Chain A
Amino acid sequence: MTNTAATAAPAAGRPRLEMRGIRKVYPAVVANDGIDLAVLPGEIHAVLGENGAGKSTLMKIIYGVTRPTEGEMIWEGQTIIPENPAHARSLGIGMVFQHFSLFETLTVVENVSLALPGAPELGYLARRIEKVSEKYGLPVDPRRLVHALSVGERQRVEIIRCLLQNPKLLIMDEPTSVLTPQAVRKLFETLRNLSGEGCSILYISHKLDEIQELCHTATVLRAGKVTGTCIPAQETPKSMARMMIGKDLPVPQHGAPAEGGEVRLRLAGLSHASDDPFGTDLKDIHLEVHSGEIVGIAGVSGNGQQELLYAVSGEEPLAEKHPVQILGAEAGRMRPGRRRRLGMGFVPEERLGRGAVPRMTLAENALLTAHRRNLVKKGLIDFAAVDVFAFECISKYDVKCGGPKAQAKSLSGGNLQKYIMGREILQQPKLLVVAQPTWGVDVGAAAFIRQALIDLRTAGTAILVISEELDELFEICDRIAVIAKGRLSPAKRTADTNVEEIGVWMSGMWPGAEADAEVQHAA
């Protein structure tokens, strides 16, 4: 028994859910190959594995999204295979997806009502949502339209939607990646309460420390097979990582911070009113990023990150020139192409559809931004040169794919991210702006990407990273600032701060923040 885990493990007994010999064959791949899994009532059970290990497929089978090719599922003693998610929900199974399943044109409350049986009265439902969101520390306004919500807020809606149905088994796919450390604490409390009330939880995550803290047991998958079952409290993150990827994880090597590099990006009083009524207005943002340093911006999503990135990348140019200065040039009104010509590279948060065109090949996607590297001659594309570039990017950045002719959408999130990162780095940017470098990326690829960023910094590039993963920022950044409600805190040297302090700052309370607000108010 795991007394070290924060909640007492449930007593052994009849499992609530048992999967036996689950096998799922897709035309091109065997996603699950004889998986056994048992979850007790009230147990928090981690499912660990790299991208493509078969975790999502297994969860989809349990939630009725897809059917297994072979094997059986036993739910509360009965052999049953859910036919569809509605059936699974009626059995008492809820799931929070990693990729959200919300209708963007509907409000939060309308989205939630769609998942509930019958036609609940919306006003009453809105109040229930508010209650649940308060109880579990998941603030969200039920009347807002989903398209205007940030990634983090959308996830909150998904979690609330499940909790409203009082599930007996809750499946959570990477739930904490967009929460503040304090909010993660609160979510864990929630999950422990649920577990104490007898609800079983299947917890999918790649964050080994979280699993260690929260979960009673863990099943580790690799390449569609179970490679081990363990009690996380008795393992180390290192030993679990080894089970998961089959080898030791590289630890990023970080050199001493360079001092006195030239300013490559300067935000000088950047203010911008968002066009979106639910967007965040940027208010008087000041920041300098020097050559040879990585500056990180932490914050809960929806606090102005998207707007800041649009303003810096030029996807939404400003009315004035001076607030954004790139390599000394006043670039506020420039479009993305001109900013890139100054020497800026940019890796956006969304890989498919923004950083890459899903149905185009990797070679064509190289052309998207790397065309400046002599890949276009007299208006015509030099396809041979494009292939060479794509091939270099694939081999240097260890992108697992079918070659330069593979479609972008055929790659896993981590591999596509490595490719996009490689594409931007190979253009030798003087300034690189990266949003969520490792969101939804497996641990192996994440370590690789972080190391690539550190190497680039050591080579003299100025790097701005916006991430919601604090651990990541502390691992790679020389200085960290926090964005909250459209304002940016001063940047602090990573060595002089800690997760707790930054966590407090993430709710908008940094020294001088209130004074600023008052000045603004008086003006």
Chain B
Amino acid sequence: MLPRLEARPEPSNTMRYASPLLAVALTLLGGLVIFATLGKSPIEGFRVFFLSPLKDAYGVSELFLKATPLMLIAVGLAVGFRANVWNIGAEGQYIIGAIAGGGVALYFEGNASLLLLPLMIVAGAIGGALWASIAALLKTRFNANEILVSLMLVYIAQLTVSWLVHGPWKDPEGFNFPQTKMFHDAAILPILVEGTRLNAAFLVALGILLAGYVFMHRSFMGFQMQVAGQAEAAARYAGFSAKRTIWTGLLAGGAMAGIAGMGEVAGPMGQLTEHVSNNYGFAAIIVAFVGRLNPVGIFFASLLMALLYLGGEQAQQYLGLPSSISKVFQGMLLFFLLGADVFVNYRLRWSGGKG
């Protein structure tokens, strides 16, 4: 009796939504096995990794803080992914957004206008969108693969921010550390809950999740992009523009990533450094898929991913595990999700006997 994969007559909707949950469960299980093989108590590991980050209100606020850039980026990416526009370079767009938003803060240093923060948000969005538009331009003009172009632009963005903070934008009084001056108060996002680091970017992210939901599920443009993603010939037949789909998909991802980057420098960091990103741009790809490219799912998936970030930090501190433990969990989550997704279209058959 060997199990055999058999194509389902049609994709299972139950499985489509059960698959992320299954992946989460398997990731937990895999985590316990890893703790055990590293000679740690699995129960202790589980407690430190998954429970201790949430033991108090501050921990919960940190969870929302970390989830903010993830949900912002993921919802922007989902707009493109649903249309088969594969923007893998959100990390770079995030960095350029941080540079643009931070640049505005530095340029208007000392200006206490209430318009400064909105201007920084717009600058971040435009910065990220501009970076993504390079991939869109090359894709629509020369049919260059947007996966490769957007990914390669990540490295250019990383080197750009590095050059800025080592060179022209370095804080003259910063003891030669590669970082800019701290932003002044008018350029820092207001804190939502006193005593925490949770800031207004979280509200912006929630608003964008809502806007993303309306765009993807209610708007005609969102519908057109979905058609383009599922059946290119049908989109052409209906007269939906393939170029507009590519542009919209990439610009949405770029703009949201840019806002996320701006939110990080104007939020918990308060300045621009070369470590502006914590791999949020890549982790958000996983978030988008675990969240089934749906804003509601993305909300919960970003909380989960944020927990993996926090748990990783805790595990470093209290279990003496290397910092890469977070990435191991991220990797497991993606791995198990892709595995579980097979069962959306296939089912197991225990066939033996007559075969």
A360 to chain B, nearest CB (A): 7
* A354 with B10, Cβ < 8 A, contacts A83-B355, A335-B239, A380-B220 known: no
Chain A residue, CB-CB nearest to B238? A368
- Are A355 and B234 in contact, with the CB atoms below 8 A? yes
The reply to whether the CB of A358 lies closer than 8 angstroms to some CB of chain B is: yes
Q: Which residues of B contact A407 (CB under 8 A)?
A: 10
The reply to whether the CB of B206 lies closer than 8 angstroms to some CB of chain A is: no
Q: Which of A365-404 contact B (CB under 8 A)?
A: 367-369, 371, 376, 379-381
Q: Which residues of B contact A379 (CB under 8 A)?
A: 219-221
- Are B9 and A348 in contact, with the CB atoms below 8 A? no
Q: B interface, how many residues as a size bin?
A: 20 to 34
Q: Which residues of B contact A410 (CB under 8 A)?
A: 10
Chain B residue, CB-CB nearest to A371? B220
The reply to whether the CB of A446 lies closer than 8 angstroms to some CB of chain B is: no
Q: Which of A304-326 contact B (CB under 8 A)?
A: 313-315
The reply to whether the CB of A353 lies closer than 8 angstroms to some CB of chain B is: yes
Q: Which residues of B contact A338 (CB under 8 A)?
A: 239
The reply to whether the CB of A340 lies closer than 8 angstroms to some CB of chain B is: yes
- A123 CA / B221 CA spacing, docked (Å): 51
Contact of A380 among B219, B226, B237 (CB under 8 A): B219
Chain B residue, CB-CB nearest to A370? B238
Q: Which residues of A contact B214 (CB under 8 A)?
A: 380
Contact of A358 among B231, B239, B240, B241 (CB under 8 A): B231
B1 to chain A, nearest CB (A): 17
As a 0/1 sequence over residues 213 to 253 of chain B, the CB contacts with chain A under 8 angstroms (1 = contact) are: 01000111101001100110110111111000000000000
- Are B227 and A357 in contact, with the CB atoms below 8 A? yes
B224 to chain A, nearest CB (A): 9
- Are B230 and A360 in contact, with the CB atoms below 8 A? yes
As a 0/1 sequence over residues 210 to 247 of chain A, the CB contacts with chain B under 8 angstroms (1 = contact) are: 00000000000000000000000000000000000000
The reply to whether the CB of A356 lies closer than 8 angstroms to some CB of chain B is: yes
As a 0/1 sequence over residues 344 to 359 of chain A, the CB contacts with chain B under 8 angstroms (1 = contact) are: 0010101001111111
- A368 CA / B239 CA spacing, docked (Å): 9
A367 to chain B, nearest CB (A): 6
* A381 with B218, Cβ < 8 A, contacts A360-B227, A368-B227, A409-B10 known: yes
The reply to whether the CB of A337 lies closer than 8 angstroms to some CB of chain B is: yes
The reply to whether the CB of A26 lies closer than 8 angstroms to some CB of chain B is: yes
- A357 CA / B238 CA spacing, docked (Å): 11
* A336 with B238, Cβ < 8 A, contacts A357-B227, A358-B231 known: yes
Contact of B223 among A28, A353, A364 (CB under 8 A): A364
Q: Which residues of B contact A354 (CB under 8 A)?
A: 231, 233-234, 236-237
The reply to whether the CB of A27 lies closer than 8 angstroms to some CB of chain B is: yes
* A355 with B237, Cβ < 8 A, contacts A360-B227, A409-B10 known: yes
- A259 CA / B95 CA spacing, docked (Å): 69
Total A-B residue contacts, Cβ distance less than 8 Å:
69
Q: Which residues of A contact B10 (CB under 8 A)?
A: 407, 409-410
Q: Which residues of B contact A368 (CB under 8 A)?
A: 227, 234, 237-238
- Are A314 and B239 in contact, with the CB atoms below 8 A? yes
* A313 with B221, Cβ < 8 A, contacts A360-B230, A368-B227 known: no
- A314 CA / B220 CA spacing, docked (Å): 21
- A405 CA / B231 CA spacing, docked (Å): 19
* A353 with B220, Cβ < 8 A, contacts A337-B239, A410-B10 known: no
B8 to chain A, nearest CB (A): 9
B186 to chain A, nearest CB (A): 35
- Are B9 and A353 in contact, with the CB atoms below 8 A? no
- Are B220 and A381 in contact, with the CB atoms below 8 A? yes
Chain B residue, CB-CB nearest to A348? B237
* Most interface-central of B11, B214, B239 (chain A CB within 10 A): B239
Contact of A27 among B9, B239, B240 (CB under 8 A): B9
- A339 CA / B236 CA spacing, docked (Å): 13
* A26 with B9, Cβ < 8 A, contacts A315-B237, A368-B234, A376-B220 known: yes
A436 to chain B, nearest CB (A): 14
- A297 CA / B282 CA spacing, docked (Å): 54
Q: Which residues of A contact B220 (CB under 8 A)?
A: 367, 371, 376, 379-381
Q: Which of B1-37 contact A (CB under 8 A)?
A: 9-11
Contact of A359 among B219, B230, B239, B241 (CB under 8 A): B230
- Are B237 and A313 in contact, with the CB atoms below 8 A? yes
B73 to chain A, nearest CB (A): 24
* A381 with B223, Cβ < 8 A, contacts A353-B233, A357-B230, A409-B10 known: yes
- A360 CA / B230 CA spacing, docked (Å): 9
- Are A357 and B241 in contact, with the CB atoms below 8 A? no
Q: Which residues of B contact A339 (CB under 8 A)?
A: 239
- A407 CA / B214 CA spacing, docked (Å): 22
Chain B residue, CB-CB nearest to A355? B237
Q: Which residues of A contact B241 (CB under 8 A)?
A: 335
Chain B residue, CB-CB nearest to A339? B239
- A352 CA / B218 CA spacing, docked (Å): 24
- A26 CA / B10 CA spacing, docked (Å): 13
Chain A residue, CB-CB nearest to B233? A354
A88 to chain B, nearest CB (A): 16
B96 to chain A, nearest CB (A): 29
* A369 with B219, Cβ < 8 A, contacts A350-B233, A360-B230 known: no
* A353 with B238, Cβ < 8 A, contacts A376-B220, A409-B10, A410-B10 known: no
- A376 CA / B220 CA spacing, docked (Å): 7
Chain A residue, CB-CB nearest to B222? A381
* Most interface-central of B214, B236, B355 (chain A CB within 10 A): B236
* Most interface-central of A339, A354, A355 (chain B CB within 10 A): A354
Q: Which of A463-520 contact B (CB under 8 A)?
A: none
* Most interface-central of B11, B219, B238 (chain A CB within 10 A): B238
- A64 CA / B231 CA spacing, docked (Å): 31
As a 0/1 sequence over residues 62 to 88 of chain B, the CB contacts with chain A under 8 angstroms (1 = contact) are: 000000000000000000000000000
Q: Which residues of B contact A26 (CB under 8 A)?
A: 9
Q: Which residues of A contact B355 (CB under 8 A)?
A: 83
Chain A residue, CB-CB nearest to B229? A357
* Most interface-central of A315, A338, A367, A380 (chain B CB within 10 A): A380
Chain A residue, CB-CB nearest to B232? A353
Chain B residue, CB-CB nearest to A365? B234
- Are A315 and B236 in contact, with the CB atoms below 8 A? yes
Chain A residue, CB-CB nearest to B230? A357
Q: Which residues of B contact A336 (CB under 8 A)?
A: 236-239
Binding site for B on A (CB under 8 A): 26-28, 83, 313-315, 335-340, 346, 348, 350, 353-360, 364, 367-369, 371, 376, 379-381, 407, 409-410
6 shortest A-B CB distances, which residue pairs? A337-B239, A336-B239, A354-B233, A376-B220, A357-B231, A368-B238
Sample of 14 more A-B contacts, CB < 8 Å, known A353-B233, A353-B234, A358-B230:
A313-B237, A314-B239, A336-B236, A350-B233, A357-B227, A357-B234, A359-B230, A360-B227, A368-B227, A376-B220, A379-B221, A380-B214, A380-B220, A381-B219
* CB-defined A-B contacts under 8 Å, sample of 21: A26-B9, A315-B236, A336-B237, A336-B239, A337-B240, A339-B239, A340-B239, A348-B237, A355-B234, A356-B234, A357-B231, A357-B234, A358-B230, A359-B11, A367-B223, A371-B220, A376-B220, A379-B219, A379-B221, A381-B223, A409-B10
Binding site for A on B (CB under 8 A): 9-11, 214, 218-221, 223, 226-227, 230-231, 233-234, 236-241, 355
